[in-house]
A and B are shown apart, each in its own frame.
Chain A
Amino acid sequence: SQKIEQNSEALNIQEGKTATLTCNYTNYSPAYLQWYRQDPGRGPVFLLLIRENEKEKRKERLKVTFDTTLKQSLFHITASQPADSATYLCALGRDNAGNMLTFGGGTRLMVKP
């Protein structure tokens, strides 16, 4: 069956360091992958989208990579700040599936000052 794995343990890092979150998948052939941020009591907020033919995408302090051979995406936040503390969700989508997303369980990031 399809499986999307994100580290369920919280990631604790020091302010200013780079946070790296991992999303691994099995039994799935996504055409694209999205990353969302979710704060407690709120809905997810879109951050980045990367397609299967793209290796890397950047947006300000954020960078996403997508390796379809390893079946993995890495999400990086450089120069992390306490305000980056949240849960980060990866979501996979297929072509011709109406942008229906399959989400991982999320990884909680805590950035300490």
Chain B
Amino acid sequence: GAGVSQTPSNKVTEKGKYVELRCDPISGHTALYWYRQSLGQGPEFLIYFQGTGAADDSGLPNDRFFAVRPEGSVSTLKIQRTERGDSAVYLCASSRTAGINEQFFGPGTRLTVL
């Protein structure tokens, strides 16, 4: 079956621009997670959704970052006024529930801010 997909796979933008990153989770998975991974480091939690609502957004670095999941399926991570320090791989994961179980990760979107 289809796994988690993310688009685009690569995004190059200029400092100060706005970007949107999309995540399509596995069908039926109610929990969705966003992580950010810098080179040589592990994924860093940003935000997670249980259904349509953001259950924990404590990992978002500042108010330039925002994420939505309006229908409880697809999610979009939005970054305003991008900065060079935002360059990283943005990973999305989903799981059947927000209980203790495995997360299924997408391939990530590599964001480069010039």
- Whether A100 contacts B56 in the complex (CB less than 8 A), given A32-B100, A45-B105, comes out as yes
Measured CB to CB, the closest approach of chain A to B3, in angstroms, equals: 9
Per-residue A-contact encoding for B79-104, CB less than 8 Å = 1, 0 else: 00000000000010101011111111
**A46 at the binding interface (Cβ < 8 Å):** yes
> Using Cβ atoms and an 8 Å threshold, which residues of chain A touch B1?
none
Given A43-B93, A98-B55, A98-B98; A103-B44 close (CB under 8 Å): yes
Do A101 and B45 touch (CB < 8 A)?
A: yes
A-B contact count (CB 8 A): 72
A residues 61-113 near B (Cβ < 8 Å) are 89, 91, 93, 97-106
Count how many chain A residues have C-beta atoms less than 8 Å from C-beta atoms of the other chain. 28
Interface size on B, residues (CB 8 A): 30
Q: A44-B43, A105-B40 are in contact. Are A99 and B101 (CB under 8 A)?
A: yes
In the bound complex, CA of A46 to CA of B43 (Å) = 13
Within the assembled complex, what's the spacing in Å between the Cα atoms of A43 and B93? 9
Nearest chain B residue, comparing its CB with the CB of A89 = B42
Q: Name 11 interchain pairs, CB-CB below 8 A, sorted by A.
A: A8-B40, A43-B4, A43-B107, A43-B108, A46-B103, A98-B48, A99-B33, A99-B48, A100-B33, A102-B45, A103-B45
Residues on A facing B (Cβ under 8 Å): 4, 6, 8, 31-32, 34, 36, 41-46, 49, 51, 89, 91, 93, 97-106
